Chain A
Amino acid sequence: QKEVEQDPGPLSVPEGAIVSLNCTYSNSAFQYFMWYRQYSRKGPELLMYTYSSGNKEDGRFTAQVDKSSKYISLFIRDSQPSDSATYLCATLNSGNTPLVFGKGTRLSVIA
């Protein structure tokens, strides 16, 4: 079982839709949870970061972590064509271990 599972999509939605992106992870020691956005032919950029369980909101983006079910979510409200990108979830524990990335979900928002 991979440490972080993420449905690669692709996911195509109309402009203005609410988008839900999800990951599951297997290592209960993971404590930090991140979402990176990667545009085509660019490097990933950090979008959201959360520590332990709970929600975090930043504008149209909400990150949610449920440690009891080992489930990570990113919600995008009022999606825009500029949100079209690959979204990567990433996790790590508090020890000296590297970031573990999911495969990424490719999102297309159609105008």
Chain B
Amino acid sequence: GQQVMQIPQYQHVQEGEDFTTYCNSSTTLSNIQWYKQRPGGHPVFLIQLVKSGEVKKQKRLTFQFGEAKKNSSLHITATQTTDVGTYFCAGLTSGTYKYIFGTGTRLKVLA
């Protein structure tokens, strides 16, 4: 079945350093979403990418969707302690209604 892998599983950074998480699907995706989950909380939507090669920015966050629509990345510039949490990608395979989540990347930011 469809699999969505994310790397790294964990990342510890010093405040002010950059951070990137990568998401890879075994199948071509219709779109991909990114979510952030704070410790003890529920996933919260960040963004959705639909087009091949699409790049979107939200302040210090940059999201990319690969040309083949099978991979994506989230890059945070100059991390802050408020960025702490687990970041998930969720991919929708063409012709289905199922979003398959990646395994997540847990980010810790050291002040």
* Chain A complexes with chain B: no
Chain A residues proximal to chain B, CB less than 8 Å: none
